[in-house]
Structure 1
Amino acid sequence: MNEIPKLKAQIVSRFSISGFQIRSEASILLAQHLASLPTADRKEWLNNIANHIQGQSLNLPVVEKKHIELAITEGSNSDLDSNETVFSVINAFDVPKFNYCDEKKKFLPGAGRSGLFPGSEVKAEYMRERYKVLWQITSRHELFNPNKNSKDKPVKQLSLRKIETLLSASKANDVVILGLLTQLTEGKFFLEDPTGVVPIDLSHAVYSSGFFCEGSFVLACGKYSDGTLEVYEMGFPISEPGSSSRAYFGTVNTWGGRSKSLLKYSDKLARLEGTKHEECLVFLSDCWLDNPTVMGKLEQLLQGFNEAAPIAIVLMGPFASRTNENIYSLKSHFRALGEILSICDNLKTKSDVVLVPSSDDPAAGSILPRPPLPECIAGELRKYFPRIVLATNPCRLQYCTQQIVVCRVDLVTKLCRNTIHFPTSGQLEDHFARTLISQGTLAPLHPIALPIHWNYDAALSLYPLPDLVVIGDPCQGFQTTEQECTVMNTGSFPKSKFAFKVYIPFSRTVEDSQIPDDD
């Protein structure tokens, strides 16, 4: 720390040569940054910062702390390639589609989409693609492919079968089927795969952890006789970490964004990520802009983070407490939000504010993925805060090498309501996370319970697994980890006494935060 006064004197001298006066707090900040660098690099860095300040076209020849912060941030990113971005938002309709090729045992780019309202054959196609993804993971697992050289061999050899093999036999014991759980007739469950359909008897079934809903894929182990599969154990398809799954895609960009290669493998972004110890992302749901109390707490939150600006603040809907809120009044509420943001000068230079709509927000139906909020309603925010991002629901975030999925849907509630077997032990968050991770999608339900655009099912995919999945469900907030993927529910901002979540990318941890009561 005894280097700081000497560096501060050098900084003041260098800026004086350029005709600038630098504030004391700004010079201290820059001196602290230079002190953390090797001695040989300090002079070059100081010159680069001074040149950047000249390019900022200041109204007065006075350098403030915010000008130094901007110069340091952009200077740190200067060695990145043109397609490498520190933070970006990827809309659902821009997510690339990949199909699994059985012959080549690899994923290939999918064909172009035909709009939001394709033919009925697309419905069967997207379910087949889900099945193929889960089949290729499950079929190559050691449970069904034991290593011949391994000493720890399973007591009983399991064989993963297609339904057509059952239908061609009269009896079979200890069969394992991967199939879609469905009701072709009311009150009667079936398993379905691309080769056929078989009725199942669940009267003696033992269930593993998770929520088993109609429209989800399951692993059923049982005995087949008299045309029915008697299930004595029901589980989920095998899951695997994202690092293992990405090996089957190569370096191609499966996530989305401008880069042709996957930024997960960027050495420059990885090094930059390792230096950002204090960076964070803020997530909250149910931002009722028509509620004065919520707006007051939201103002406290924004002004609080103005002192230590995060990478991004993600605000999820609904943006009105009443579903029949007049569009014109909602527009005025967004204007009020813009006025609050306009006085947060530090956020203006450092943070993106991402707006993710819910199914109750105008002007789209309750079907995923849904488009962003219309420009005519929320676009005026940019006049007050240029770094507003109107995102789809769901959307994807890329921070350095980390991948984040954000979805505002009552998914925990829907899974609890539609499961055929509610877990009797364990934590709710663990059952929820295991269901999502094992199914590999944000919509592991029957389309009636959670409608989706068939042509854009890839936007709901969780394969390969991202680093973080953020769900906005009004139930109690939580966070847990499954297969190296953090699954987090923000809870409802107003209903949880103004609690929200803060994600620290450097440590990959989630912090619970809350706006304190006025009293």
Structure 2
Amino acid sequence: HSHSLSPPPPSPMAAPSAAMRKKLQRKFRLRGFTLKVDALEEAAAFLARFPDAEDEALDLLLDELDKEPLKSSILDRDAVRRVVSLLVEAEEAVDAASPSATSVQSALRVVDSFVVPRFHYDPIKKVFYEHTGRLALHGEAGDKAALYRDRYQVLLQRLARDKYFSKPAFESVMTENESCEITSIQSLVGCTGRRWIMGVISQLEERQFYLEDLTGAVPIDLANAKITSGFFVENTVIVAEGELLSSGIFQVCCPP
């Protein structure tokens, strides 16, 4: 069978009606399948995506199940969900490739934030690992700080992969002027000349802006900074070039 389905945005899952249950059980039985309760609900949720083409969607689902190497004719939720996921992904791929993919329906997609995998970056091993713990609805006191810390580390590792911000393997490969290696704020003490730092804009004192990273904070002087286009507010992560003065203030030469 060759079918083309264009589903509307899915509505919240509701318990299938008695008529829908009976219809699903009958159709699946004709194909030699028996549905467990959770599998029936999964199939009903799939059909709910196509209110104007339920029969067509059901035939397509059954056709694909026939192709699956199932261990048993008694279907559970996982067996049905596996096929449903393949059908949904195939439909989204068709929609993305079609000229009408610019419609609001295909351009917007709501994703449950509790379903999206969460990854953390390990700065020591320099790898991402998936967070497998339970995600609480309400965060704890340290979660806000962790949010900014994780965001900073992700941006820093991306920047470190750029050829202009990575330390050359051989000093002769790039001259000092061409290398823009990021210096931690803590390491600025004792450094001379211009340095590149990456930090979060904050106002730790009234009318005095600072740049903060994971090692410390430094007050900044923007008097001699070159003005370019951009809109930078507090809590924005920026990269700036400048020099640490004897007064302990980082004088910014080039803007973010």
TM-score, normalised by the number of residues in structure 2 = 0.56
Distance 1:203 1:82, change over 3 A: same
Between Structure 1 and Structure 2, the one with more strand by share is 1
1:115 to 137, 159, 162: 137
For 2:216, the aligned partner's letter is G
Residues 67, 189 of structure 1: alpha-carbon distance in 2 compared, 3 angstrom cutoff: closer
Is residue 167–residue 181 contact of structure 2 (8 Å, CA) maintained in 1? no
SS of the counterpart of 1:90?
coil
Q: Judge conservation of contact 1:146–1:154 (CA < 8 Å) in 2.
A: no
- Offset at residue 184 of structure 1 (A): 0.6
Which of the numbers 176, 185, 189 marks the counterpart of 2:205? 185
The number of residue pairs the alignment matches comes to 171
Distance in structure 2 (CA, Å) of the matches to 1:94 and 1:126: 18
Q: Could you tell me how far apart the structure 1 residues matched to 2:207 and 2:229 are?
A: 23
> Residues 4-40 of structure 1, C-alpha deviation per residue, up to 9 Å, x if partnerless?
xxxxxxxxxxxxxxxxxxxxxxxxxxxxxxxxxxxxx
- Counterparts of 1:121-160 in structure 2, within 5 Å, are 121-145=142-166, 153=174, 156=177, 157-160=179-182
Return the letter of the residue paired with 1:161: T
Q: Which has the higher contact order (CA 8 A, sep 6+)?
A: 1
Select which of 195, 213, 221 maps to 2:233: 213
**2:224, 2:252 within 8 Å by CA — same for their partners in 1?**
yes
Normalising by structure 1, report the TM-score. Answer: 0.29
Shift of 1:106: 1.0
Moved over 6 A (4+): none
Q: 2:200, 2:212 within 8 Å by CA — same for their partners in 1?
A: yes
Partner residue of 1:161 out of 175, 183, 204: 183
Q: 1:239-297 CA distances to partner (integer Å, 9 max, x unpaired)?
A: xxxxxxxxxxxxxxxxxxxxxxxxxxxxxxxxxxxxxxxxxxxxxxxxxxxxxxxxxxx
CA distance in 2, matches of 1:153, 1:73: 63
Q: Which of residues 95, 105, 113 is equivalent to 1:92?
A: 113
- What is the DSSP-based 3-state SS (H/G/I as helix, E as strand, rest coil) of the residue aligned with 1:92? coil
Show the 5 A alignment for 1:296-307: none
Query: Which runs of 5 or more residues in structure 2 are unaligned?
Result: 4-22, 27-51, 68-81, 93-108
Cross-structure match for 2:248: 227
Mapped to 1, the partners of 2:120 and 2:141 lie a distance apart of 19
- SS in structure 2 at match of 1:136: helix
Following the alignment from structure 1 to structure 2, what is the Cα–Cα distance between the partners of residues 197 and 163? 6
Structure-1 residue corresponding to 2:13: none
Percent identical pairs in the alignment equals: 28
Change in CA separation of 1:180 and 1:114 when aligned onto 2, cut-off 3 Å: same
Which amino acid letter does the alignment assign opposite residue 218 of structure 2? V
Query: Within 5 Å, which residues of 2 pair with 1:331-480?
Result: none
- Give the direction of change, closer, same or farther, for the CA distance of 1:175–1:155 in structure 2 (3 Å limit): closer
Residue 240 of structure 2 aligns with an amino acid whose one-letter code is A
How much does 1:107 deviate?
Answer: 1.0
Decide whether aligned partners of structure 1 residues 207 and 82 sit closer, same or farther in structure 2, where only a CA change above 3 A counts.
farther
CA deviation map 1:180-238 (0-9, x unaligned): 00101111100001110100001121245432111100001101112010001122xxx
Q: Which has the larger radius of gyration?
A: 2
* Secondary structure of the corresponding residue to residue 108 of structure 1: strand
SS at 1:183's partner residue?
Answer: strand
1:474 paired residue number: none
User: In 2, are the aligned partners of 1:100 and 1:133 still within 8 Å (CA)?
Assistant: yes
- What SS does the aligned partner of 1:161 have? coil
TM-aligned CA distance change 1:70 to 1:155, over 3 Å: farther
CA distance in 2, matches of 1:148, 1:73: 60
SS of 2:193's equivalent in the other structure is strand
